[in-house]
Amino acid sequence: MDVIFEIVDKSGRKIHLSKERWKHITSPSSLHPYMTNYLQEIKEALTKPSKIVTHTLDNKKADYYLYIKERGVYLLVGVKYLNGDGFVTTAFLTRKLIR
């Protein structure tokens, strides 16, 4: 698997972003092609999040939020954990915390 980055999150768990997921997130046909400019912020959301919300129906999923003050929005980075390690599933900007 080709990896864009692997990072240790705020709680000490390894999380990676694969090339396949990055392409899915940023492709022109996706809902969030603007995310190509937010790679550094995605890393920051994982290492210094404003908030982490674990999914209520699936504790193997979590949303990492980073508040971007200049834009007045949150960057949401969705992560799924398998066998102790995580991988980014999605990333996009939102005006409010979800869940």
Sequence-ordered alpha helix ranges (H) in 1-99: 19-26, 39-47
Three-class secondary structure of residue 60 per DSSP: coil
Residue 61 amino acid letter: K
99: confidence class by pLDDT, cuts 50, 70, 90: low
Residue-wise pLDDT tens digits, 19-35? 999 999 999 888 888 99
| Domain boundaries along the sequence of the chain | 3-94
pTM value is: 0.93
Query: Do 6 and 15 meet the contact criterion of CB atoms below 8 Å apart?
Result: yes
Return the closest-CA partner of residue 60 out of 89, 39, 32: 89
Mean pLDDT, residues 55-73 taken together = 94
